[in-house]
């Protein structure tokens, strides 16, 4: 459900200014520490040169993270880096060399740009949007029922421009380093599956830029449209979506059971959109966890938004529901909302529950806002949680890379490795901590070794 994004983004200006000032002070302190540690200073991306088109080539003068510089009390002071040269072959990293290669293969100088795992937007709507067309703000929010009724009036007329607008959103997202999307696509009685075809048209055309999953999203409710959802899962969707079983479907047990039945029938994961509050939302998650265990669907169920977890922070119920989630390896997707409680990062981490970030809406009928930048989302998560130190900022990166980071929690290098897919985002930053704090520009983006962005 998308209406909460308009709430999330409609934030008090004073709070933005305060958060911005805090981030600026932290960024200056970080820059000083980084300079003392001998790292490359931040820079603007150079004007674009010819991008690689060969199946086999070298990316030279690449900056890679190489561990943590620690102080007397073992606290992380800065991030160490090293220079390396990456051999890209048929979409994979096939060599990581310390010395400049002399094998005659094409070489592309990355000019000390920092290489990072490319980013993933784990919850984005490419249909129903205004972005890519004339500017249009969202109409004032009255209720979910009213929003759905409003949708019924424009869904079919929107279809003609959906491929163009979806491509514009993909271009926007990839320009900020994203190479994977979990795409939420309406399955509703107004348009049937026609918008799926339009969204897939755009995604398929941009296969070199973006990898994707398709979530069958029952925006207008699941229980009244089970046959349509079943048809959707046979025709292009690979994840079963669910939505607020209490407030939208009005029958928690039947809604959750039907969602799981569809998932089992089509051997598909579940992405449950849950906006229901406090103990009510926690009850839904607990029941879903039990169904997950009974069906043997461990590790295949995600809860999107999950505001109830943030609302229950400090309540004993939270530990109980998180334990149930952890037992069946549930994951959580959040937009890092500004002024509504977000899933608590520390508590999720303590239970080993993976958190992913997402943009959700980008200038569509539910929200006028959205930049398309996953870097911004990681930065916002840091601001919300008060992450000003080098270590915390460094750890924030994993929330936009599906858990992959150059360094593990102890500072050991774990990425890149020979044989990894060449899904790379290069940024004009000295380290990932600086990127999260300063939101530095993107220099280049490669998906499976093919460049979609090239500002080197």
| Site of tokens 């997402």 | 358
Mean pLDDT of the chain: 90
Q: For residue 48, what pLDDT is reported?
A: 53
CA-to-CA distance for 404 and 419, rounded, in angstroms?
A: 15
Query: Is the pLDDT assigned to residue 289 strictly greater than 50?
Result: yes
Contacts of 415 (CB under 8 A, 6+ apart): 117, 404, 405, 406
Q: For residue 168, what pLDDT is reported?
A: 97
Query: In terms of DSSP bridges, do strands 107-109 and 114-117 run parallel, antiparallel, or are they unpaired?
Result: unpaired
Q: For residue 152, what pLDDT is reported?
A: 87
Residue 299 region by backbone torsions, left for phi larger than 0, else alpha for psi between -120 and 50, else beta: left
Q: For residue 149, what pLDDT is reported?
A: 85
Going by pLDDT thresholds of 50, 70 and 90, the confidence category of residue 240 is very high
147-160 burial string, b = 16+ CB within 10 Å, else e? bbebbeeebeebee
Domains of the chain: 18-118+407-454 (2.30.40.10), 119-400 (3.20.20.140)
Percent of the chain at pLDDT > 70 equals: 89
Identify which of 359, 300, 303, 441 has the alpha carbon closest to the alpha carbon of residue 121. 359
Rg (CA), the chain: 22
Percent of the chain at pLDDT > 90 equals: 84
| 21 vs 334: which has the higher pLDDT | 334
pLDDT average, residue stretch 218-245: 97
Query: Is the pLDDT assigned to residue 32 strictly greater than 70?
Result: no
Contacts of 25 (CB under 8 A, 6+ apart): none
Per-residue tokens: 148: 């759905």
Query: Is the pLDDT assigned to residue 165 strictly greater than 80?
Result: yes
CA-to-CA distance for 41 and 205, rounded, in angstroms?
A: 38
pLDDT average, residue stretch 33-42: 38
Query: Is the pLDDT assigned to residue 11 strictly greater than 90?
Result: no
Going by pLDDT thresholds of 50, 70 and 90, the confidence category of residue 303 is very high
| 18 vs 384: which has the higher pLDDT | 384
| 455 vs 42: which has the higher pLDDT | 455
> Per the omega criterion (within 30 degrees of 0), is the bond before 416 cis?
yes
Query: Is the pLDDT assigned to residue 341 strictly greater than 60?
Result: yes
Full DSSP string of 174-217: HHTTEEEEEEEEE-BTTTBTHHHHHHHHHHHHTTTT-EEEEEEE
């Amino acid at each position: 459900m998308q209406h909460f994004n308009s709430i999330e983004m409609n934030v008090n200006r004073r709070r933005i200014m305060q958060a911005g000032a805090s981030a600026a002070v932290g960024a200056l302190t970080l820059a000083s520490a980084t300079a003392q540690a001998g790292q490359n200073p931040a820079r603007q991306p150079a004007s674009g040169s010819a991008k690689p088109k060969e199946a086999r080539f070298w990316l030279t003068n690449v900056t890679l993270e190489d561990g943590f510089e620690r102080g007397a009390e073992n606290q992380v002071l800065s991030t160490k880096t090293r220079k390396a040269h990456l051999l890209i072959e048929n979409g994979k990293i096939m060599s990581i060399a310390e010395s400049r290669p002399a094998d005659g293969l094409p070489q592309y100088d990355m000019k000390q740009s920092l290489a990072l795992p490319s980013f993933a937007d784990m919850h984005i709507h490419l249909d129903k949007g205004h972005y890519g067309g004339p500017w249009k703000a969202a109409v004032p929010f009255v209720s979910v029922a009213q929003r759905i009724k409003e949708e019924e009036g424009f869904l079919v007329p929107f279809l003609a421009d959906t491929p163009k607008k979806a491509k514009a959103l993909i271009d926007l997202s990839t320009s900020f380093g994203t190479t994977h999307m979990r795409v939420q696509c309406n399955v509703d009685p107004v348009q049937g599956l026609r918008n799926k075809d339009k969204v897939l048209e755009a995604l398929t055309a941009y296969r070199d830029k973006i990898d994707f999953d398709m979530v069958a999203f029952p925006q207008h409710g699941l229980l009244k449209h089970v046959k349509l959802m079943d048809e959707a899962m046979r025709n292009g969707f690979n994840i079963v979506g669910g939505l607020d079983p209490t407030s939208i479907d009005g029958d928690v047990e039947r809604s959750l059971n039907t969602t799981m039945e569809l998932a089992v029938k089509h051997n598909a994961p579940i992405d449950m959109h849950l906006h229901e509050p406090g103990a009510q939302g926690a009850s839904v998650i607990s029941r879903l966890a039990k169904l997950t265990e009974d069906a043997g669907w461990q590790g295949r169920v995600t809860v999107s938004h999950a505001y109830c977890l943030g609302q229950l922070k400090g309540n004993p119920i939270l530990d109980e529901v998180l334990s149930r989630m952890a037992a069946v390896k549930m994951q959580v997707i959040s937009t890092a909302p500004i002024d509504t409680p977000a899933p608590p990062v520390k508590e999720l981490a303590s239970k080993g529950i993976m958190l992913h970030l997402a943009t959700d809406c980008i200038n569509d009928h539910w929200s006028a806002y959205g930049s398309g930048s996953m870097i911004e989302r990681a930065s916002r998560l840091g601001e919300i949680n008060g992450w000003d130190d080098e270590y915390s900022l460094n750890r924030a990166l994993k929330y936009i890379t599906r858990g992959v980071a150059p360094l593990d929690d102890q500072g050991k290098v774990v990425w890149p490795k020979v044989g990894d897919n060449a899904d790379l985002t290069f940024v004009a930053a000295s380290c990932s901590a600086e990127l999260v704090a300063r939101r530095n520009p993107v220099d280049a983006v490669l998906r499976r070794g093919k460049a979609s962005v090239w500002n080197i």
